[in-house]
Amino acid sequence: MKSKLLLKMKSSIKKTKNTDFYQMYKEEMIVVPLLILAFYLFNILMVTLFPRGAFFDFYSEIETIITKILIVAVSMWTAHLALRVSFPRIYKFLHDELLHKFDTLPQDKKLDYAVKFILVFILSAAIIFGRI
């Protein structure tokens, strides 16, 4: 019984590692647990150093962070869907030319696109987090 469960878990992990999502975001998936651990250790350190401080508990802080991450993810997904439905030619250009052929672009174009995307992300984060 235990070996069947172990085999299922191994096959599930193998399937997950072969997905495009994992291949594209494997670095981020490794960093997130490390950041949560660092946040937890920092919280313990602050409570130890300042025992009379009015700190929030760890779980409410993590809940707030996860809620904000979900809001950003849902907003990005909604914007992606709206772009795909409203402007299919722009979406096709971004998907085909920029995503898959980014390495072949000249350096000045890459820098131009990078600055524009960063500005869009900063502006969208200001709008999203400014209203909450």
Q: What is the pLDDT of residues 65-84, one digit of tens each?
A: 888 888 878 887 888 888 88
pLDDT over 80 at 25, yes or no:
no
62 & 122 share domain:
yes
Task: Kindly state whether residues 84 and 33 are assigned to the same domain.
Answer: no
Q: Are 61 and 38 in contact (CB under 8 A)?
A: no
Q: Are residues 108 and 60 in the same domain?
A: yes
- 118 and 85 assigned to the same domain: yes
CB 132 within 8 A of CB 69: no
Are 46 and 74 members of one domain? Answer: no
Domain that holds residue 121: 56-132
Work out the pLDDT band at 131, boundaries 50, 70, 90: low
pLDDT at residue 55, rounded to an integer: 74
> Are 74 and 132 in a shared domain?
yes
How many structural domains comprise the chain?
2
17 and 68 in a single domain? The answer is no
> What average pLDDT does the structure give for the chain?
82
User: pTM for the complete prediction?
Assistant: 0.52
- Least confident piece of the model among 15-24, 59-68, 101-110, 114-123: 15-24
pLDDT of residue 2: 65
Give percent above pLDDT 90 in the chain. Answer: 0
Shared domain for 129 and 88, answered yes or no, is yes
Same domain, 39 and 84: no
29/69 same-domain check? no
Judge contact between 53 and 47, C-beta under 8 A: yes
* Cα(131)–Cα(14) distance, integer angstroms: 41
More reliable by pLDDT, 29 or 113: 113
**88 and 116 together in one domain:** yes
Q: 1: pLDDT confidence band, cut at 50, 70 and 90? A: low
